[in-house]
Amino acid sequence: MTAPSTARVNGIDISYSVAGSGPLVVMVMGTGSPGRVWKANQEPALVKAGYTVVTFDNRGIAPSSECAEGFSLDDMVADTAALIEYLDRGPAIVVGTSLGARITQELALARPDVVKAAVLIATYGRNTPLQEAISAGERALYDNKIKLPPEYEAAITAHLNLSPHTLDDDRSARDWLDIIGFSPQAITPGVRAQLELHHKESDRLSAYRNITRPTLVVGFADDRTLPPKLAREVAEAIPGAEYVQIERAGHFGYLEQPAEVNRVLVDFCGRFRD
């Protein structure tokens, strides 16, 4: 494993890390989260399986350029493509979750030359009224300088992102509340710029019929933030895409059920080693 490096690509700085050796896997994180989240479970599993794994901080997440003045989803797609080109090891298997999955599927559509295969975790191709309402609320909290009490913020985060099976166990629920409380998600100007993307997104399902890269879509059965029906819609739109649903998992399913997520990832990536 190497220390984080910085690449000047697409007119901005992207902080990235490289681990392992073998075929290239590039991992794209979701709204407000740094790339190091992948290091807890998915990066070690893929490195052990014989892959070079690159994680990075999307624009909006320091120490990458925050670009607080605003940016588009197309900008984030272009960042990912430029990073793969900068690494000069592509095409890559690209794995994304939530907003990172949206970036990944748009990348597979716009730049299939840099994508060997795509894994879309907890993804979506259109906004729902509930998504729009939650996103509007998050933006309003920041814009009005409202800070939720830490205990309440941890509880809401757990409720939206974890499975009821996790939260029904009092000890498990307390452990997760402690974890979330110790590492709360800070809404910085760059994260606020990411949140604005959810306000501007459109229905892209029909466009995804033109994706040609091999694709695996992973849904989480208990995902309240992006219900699995949304992931199924994406899988149904992409020709030949596979869909796998992981049980007893919420939006943070890659943290709640890491062994199963890792098994699915390693199995799929193994088809594209050559």
Task: Give the integer Cα–Cα distance in Å for 246 and 163.
Answer: 11
Which residue in 15, 33, 163, 251 is the catalytic one? 251
Structure tokens at 51: 């892959």
Structure tokens at 203: 């229905």
Which residue in 98, 135, 198, 222 is the catalytic one? 98
Which residue in 75, 79, 222, 223 is the catalytic one? 223
Cβ(217)–Cβ(242) below 8 Å: yes
Structure tokens at 249: 């998992």
228's enclosing H/E stretch is helix 228-237
Q: In the annotation, is 199 catalytic?
A: no
Task: Give the integer Cα–Cα distance in Å for 265 and 269.
Answer: 6
The packing angle between helices 189-200 and 99-110, to 10°, is: 60
Structure tokens at 113: 């030359």
Torsion from C-alpha of 179, 5, 23, 250, nearest 10 degrees: 20
Question: What angle is formed at CA 99 by the lines to CA 95 and CA 104, rounded to 5 degrees?
Answer: 40
In the numeric block, the tokens 């000890």 are attached to 171
Q: In the annotation, is 251 catalytic?
A: yes
Q: In the annotation, is 79 catalytic?
A: no
- The DSSP letter of residue 185 is P
Query: Which residues are known catalytic residues?
Result: 98, 223, 251
